[in-house]
Structure formats: C-alpha cells, structure tokens
Structure 1
Amino acid sequence: MTLNFKMERPKIPKDLKEGNFQDVFNDEDPYMCNCLISNTEADYAEIDKLTLSKAVINHVRLVNASFKRIDLTDAVFENCDLSNVDLSEGNLNRVVFKDCKLMGLNVSEANLGNVTFENCLLNLADFVDARLKHIQFERSSLQNVNFYDARFNKIIFEQCDLNRADFTGTALKGIDISSCHYDQLSVEPGNLEGCVVSSEQAIGFAALLGLRIKE
C-alpha cells in the first residue's frame, strides 16, 4: 500500500555504543542515548520516566517490564520480546518495532507519532485513550486489541488480523481496513463514517447498521 502521508523514520547514528538497561536502574533521571542494546534480558525491570533516544534494540527480552512515562525517540526494536511491557503515559516518536512480540503491550494514555509495527504480535495490546498520529500497522496480529476512546490521525492497517479488536469510542474516518482480516469487531455505527472497507466487509457492517441486503 502506498502511504497517503509521509512517515518520519528513526534517525539513528552510524556509531553506537553498547548499552544495558541495568546501567540506569537506580538513576534519578534515567537517560540513554546513541546506544546499541542486544542479546540481553531484563524481565520485570522498572524504570520510570526513562529517556531513550537514537537507539537500536535487538534480540532483547523485557517481559513484564515497566517503563511508564517513557520518552522514546528515534529507536528501532528488532526481534524483541516485549510482552506485557508498560509504556503507558509515554511519548513515542519515530520508532519502529519489527518482528517483535508485543502481546499485552500497554500504551494507554500515550502519545504515538511516526511509529511502525511491522510483522509484530500485538494481541491483547492496550491503546485506551492513546493519541496516534502517522502510525503504520503492517502484517501484524492485533487480535483482541483495545483501541477504546483512542484518537486516530492518519493510521494505516495493512494485511493485519483485527479479529475481536475493540474500536468503541474511536472514530474510523479515513481508516482503511480493507486488506485486514477479522470475524468480529467492536465498533459503534456512528464511528464508521468514512471508514474504507472491502465489499465483503461492507455486508457485515450493513448488518450492524440494521440494513437488510436483498440478493
């Protein structure tokens, strides 16, 4: 799919120094920049208000970690397990998640801008009250994801599994889900205006609107 808006990609320096989340566990103002973090585990880590920028994180396991109110800018995550990671109330800008496990990710009340999720597992992720602008979900599984009362601005869903996703309270104007798969969605009829769907999907939404289609 050709994007109808310009995504800003992460700005990563060529020369990065090796880093580790353990280096800032006890810092009053935790800050990490220009770093490469790889092949490490930090399950259940808790770092509040972490600033992480210009970073590449690969093959890292951070299951059940808490990074509430994180300031994450210019970062690439590849082949990471971030299941149940808490990034709520954070700010994420120019970030790529590629081939990552993000089941149960919590980004509720967070601000996300220019963020790409490519070939990721996002089942049960929580985007409640989040603000999303210039976001791309590509070939990712979003089963049972909660987008309740989220605010969308230029969002792409390309070949994603949206089965049982909850869009209650979220306007879908301009959102194209025609290439996505689902058997069931939670969405309010009033928020469907301007949503782009396939002809097959339109039949299901017609039933939601109380229409009867005559063959």
Structure 2
Amino acid sequence: MATRVFGHVTVTTPDLDEPGLYLSHVDTLDSARGIVQDFSFRDADLRSLDLADTQLIAGRIADVRSQRVELQALNLHGVEISGSDLRSVRWSESKLTRVVVRDCKLMGAALDGLVLDDVLFEGCKFDYATFDRMRATGPVAFTGCVLTAAVFSDCDLSDVVFSDCTLRTTEFGGGRYRDTDLRGNDLSTIRGVANLAKVRIDHTQQADLVHALVSELDITVGDD
C-alpha cells in the first residue's frame, strides 16, 4: 500500500504497479455497463469529454487534452490522472477515493459536490477555479498547486493540507476549516480570513493574516 505524508495527514495513493495488476488500454471511458476497471487511457486529444453515472476503478488517465469536460456522478477508486489539460471543466456530485491528480491544468474549473477520501492534488493549476460544497471525509492534500483567484464556498476542508501552494487572492468562503493546515504558504493576499477559524498556521504567518485582513477590509493605516 503506497502512502504519502503531508503535515499531519497520510494519504493512501493508488498502487497501480502492484504485481498481478494489468492495465488494459482503452480508447474511451464510456461503458455500457457503467464500469471501467483496470484501464489505461492516455494520449488523447478530445473536443469534449462527457461522463455520467460511471465508475472508474484502478486505472491511469494520462496526457489527455479536452476543450470541454462535463463529469457528473462519477465514482473514482484507485485512479491516477496526470499531465492532462482539461478545459471548461464542470465536475459535480462525485466521489474520489485513493485518487491522485498530478501536473494537470484545470483552470477555471467548476467543482461542485465532490466527496474526497485519500486524495492528492500535486502540481496542478486551479487558477480561477470554484470549489463548491466539496467535502473531505478522509486525508486530502494540495501540494505545489497554483490556486490563484480560486474560490472555496460552503466546503468542509477539515484536516485538509495545503503545502507549498500559490494562494494569491484565493478566497475561503463560509465553510468548515477545523485543522486545515495552511503552514508553508504565503497567506498575505488570501481572502475570507474571518472564515478561517481553527486553521493551522506557523508563527511567521501571523503577519500574513494581518496583512490579508487589512487589505480585505480596505483599512487605511497612517499617522494622520
């Protein structure tokens, strides 16, 4: 069983190279049975990628480029997504378990109602993405991700770790942030500071939060 440690959480990742597991190449992720298992889907240029009510179990998605992505009611278990450029993503009401999303572009993505358990986002670009009603039910980490102007709204990010991420004007709206680990990130331009009750930061980040709050409240600091 492969694991990665980030701060206070340990993420269990897919072990797709285990002995006895053979991944078959597939040309599409559509299936009449609604299940695609032990698969490899890679090197595809698509105009659109539409999936609904589908289970993806034990597989790799790599180097996929799509101009439009619509994903609904998916169940991903033991899946690795890497090196992909997914544009105009609309991803809703899905569950991800033991999933790694690595070196992918999901800029401007709209992610709504995702449930995450043992999920790692690594080196991904989420600029201007919106995360609505996302819920972490197990270990989740964002590491080395760019979240410029991304918005989290009505999410439960309890115990989620953000490590070495770019959080430039990232907005944390109303939600749950108990023990959300923000250590090791520049927090000086984040928004929604007042919502971040009970998060984890280090001593050096206290000044970042003060700067962010002063900026967000448009406070003028001066002697006259």
* TM bucket normalised to smaller: 0.7 to 0.9
Give the alignment partner of residue 113 of structure 1, picking from 113, 117, 138: 117
Aligned counterparts of 2:27 and 2:176: Cα–Cα separation in 1: 40
> How do 1:85-164 residues align onto structure 2 when only pairs under 5 Å count?
85-133=89-137, 134-164=139-169
Counterpart position of 1:18: 25
Cα-to-partner distance string for 1:6-26 (whole Å, 9 max, x where unaligned): 2121142541110122653xx
Cα-to-partner distance string for 1:76-123 (whole Å, 9 max, x where unaligned): 111111222222111111110111111122321111111111111111
Aligned counterparts of 1:8 and 1:123: Cα–Cα separation in 2: 26
Counterpart position of 1:31: 35
Give the alignment partner of residue 171 of structure 1, picking from 173, 176, 179: 176
SS in 2 for 1:50: strand
The answer (yes or no) to whether the contact 2:53–2:73 under 8 Å persists in 1 is yes
The answer (yes or no) to whether the contact 1:117–1:137 under 8 Å persists in 2 is yes
Q: TM-score, normalised by structure 2?
A: 0.83
SS in 2 for 1:38: strand
Q: Does 1:204 align with 2:211?
A: yes
Q: Quick one: which amino acid aligns to residue 103 of structure 1?
A: M
Q: Quick one: which amino acid aligns to residue 33 of structure 1?
A: Q
Aligned counterparts of 1:48 and 1:143: Cα–Cα separation in 2: 29
Q: Quick one: which amino acid aligns to residue 42 of structure 2?
A: S
Structure 1 unmatched ranges of 5 or more: none
Q: Which has the higher strand share?
A: 2
Aligned counterparts of 2:30 and 2:220: Cα–Cα separation in 1: 62
Aligned counterparts of 2:40 and 2:190: Cα–Cα separation in 1: 39
Structure 1 109/6 Cα, relative in aligned 2: closer, same or farther at 3 Å? Answer: same
Structure 1 90/206 Cα, relative in aligned 2: closer, same or farther at 3 Å? Answer: closer
Q: Quick one: which amino acid aligns to residue 171 of structure 2?
A: D
Structure 1 211/178 Cα, relative in aligned 2: closer, same or farther at 3 Å? Answer: farther
Aligned counterparts of 2:217 and 2:198: Cα–Cα separation in 1: 14
Cα-to-partner distance string for 1:41-100 (whole Å, 9 max, x where unaligned): 233222211211100111111331212111111111111112222221111111101111
Structure 2 unmatched ranges of 5 or more: none
The answer (yes or no) to whether the contact 1:21–1:42 under 8 Å persists in 2 is no
SS in 1 for 2:85: coil
Aligned counterparts of 2:173 and 2:158: Cα–Cα separation in 1: 16
**RMSD of aligned alpha carbons:** 2.6
Counterpart position of 1:70: 74
Aligned counterparts of 1:203 and 1:73: Cα–Cα separation in 2: 41
Structure 1 70/183 Cα, relative in aligned 2: closer, same or farther at 3 Å? Answer: same
Q: Quick one: which amino acid aligns to residue 185 of structure 1?
A: I
Aligned counterparts of 1:46 and 1:186: Cα–Cα separation in 2: 33
Cα-to-partner distance string for 1:21-48 (whole Å, 9 max, x where unaligned): 2653xx3x42211001111123322221
Moved over 4 A (4+): 208-213
